[in-house]
């Protein structure tokens, strides 16, 4: 299997990000952010799977599950890597175990920068209402207004924090994983998380696109910078 350098991975990651961002922005420009979002929300509702429990109650299996819990899978994986790396550092002399510790620590740093500092800072500054609030206001014949620094989650739609979280995770995996299968699976899973934020009526398409850009770009840049500093 061909081994790619961190520089090659960085360049290919940026190329993928540009293609994804350009495609998304073209769709938004063509169909309109709100119109496209409404269409995807309807699609999500129409494709919900409905099951019957033993008590005869209806249980919906839809995008809300992955929307709510998807990123927790990433958090669990990197927490295990952190614990594994700490074990290697404290109780063994394994360079491989210590490498997992380094990756986990970089992941935490990437998450703080992308998902907390950048994303939350923009959310507070922009103050865009979420789809449910925005569409409700429009149905009453009024125009939704932004409310910067309101501290209300209802007005923290742009950009999507879950999308930034998911794609910063995918970016870290993209840079360090030697397996193209794991990388592809991570990118696909992150895409499902981001898509679910639209169908779960938590974000507009444009929110998700910028969340993806922030998360993935931050991970690529910080991972590449760290590896270069270490001479890897």
State pLDDT tens for residues 24-44.
999 999 999 999 999 999 888
pLDDT at res. 54: 46
* Beta bridge mates, 51: 59
Confidence of residue 2 (pLDDT cuts 50, 70, 90): low
Q: What whole-number distance in Å separates Cα of residue 181 and Cα of residue 104?
A: 20
- Report the 10 Å Cβ neighbour count for 62: 16
- Report the 10 Å Cβ neighbour count for 22: 11
- In the DSSP assignment, the letter for residue 51 is E
State pLDDT tens for residues 134-149.
988 888 888 888 899 9
Domain boundaries, the chain: 6-45+59-229
The percent of residues in the chain predicted with pLDDT above 70, rounded, is: 88
pLDDT at res. 220: 93
The secondary structure element, H or E, covering residue 161 is: helix 161-176
Share the mean pLDDT of the chain. Answer: 86
Q: What is the CA radius of gyration of the chain?
A: 20
Q: What whole-number distance in Å separates Cα of residue 88 and Cα of residue 102?
A: 11
State pLDDT tens for residues 57-97.
444 455 677 888 889 999 999 999 889 888 877 777 767 77
| Residue bearing tokens 């794609």 | 167
Question: Does the pLDDT value for residue 129 go beyond 90?
Answer: yes
Question: Does the pLDDT value for residue 109 go beyond 50?
Answer: yes
Q: Are 37 and 144 in contact (CB under 8 A)?
A: no
């Amino acid at each position: 299997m061909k081994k790619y350098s961190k520089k090659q991975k960085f360049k290919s990651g940026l190329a993928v990000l540009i293609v994804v961002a350009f495609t998304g922005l073209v769709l938004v420009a063509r169909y309109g952010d709100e119109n496209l979002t409404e269409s995807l929300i309807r699609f999500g509702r129409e494709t919900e799977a409905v099951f019957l429990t033993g008590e005869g109650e209806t249980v919906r299996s839809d995008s809300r599950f992955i929307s709510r819990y998807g990123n927790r899978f990433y958090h669990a994986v990197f927490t295990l890597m952190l614990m594994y790396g700490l074990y290697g550092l404290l109780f063994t002399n394994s360079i491989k175990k210590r490498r997992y510790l380094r990756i986990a620590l970089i992941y935490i740093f990437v998450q703080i920068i992308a998902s907390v500092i950048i994303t939350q800072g923009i959310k507070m500054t922009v103050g865009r209402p979420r789809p449910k609030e925005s569409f409700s206001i429009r149905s009453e014949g009024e125009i939704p207004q932004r409310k910067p620094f309101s501290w209300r989650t209802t007005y923290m739609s742009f950009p999507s924090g879950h999308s930034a979280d998911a794609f910063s995770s995918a970016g870290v995996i993209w840079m360090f994983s030697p397996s193209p299968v794991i990388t592809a699976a991570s990118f696909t899973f992150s895409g499902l998380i981001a898509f679910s934020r639209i169908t779960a009526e938590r974000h507009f398409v444009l929110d998700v696109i910028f969340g993806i850009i922030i998360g993935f770009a931050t991970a690529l840049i910080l991972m590449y910078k760290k590896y270069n500093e270490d001479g890897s």
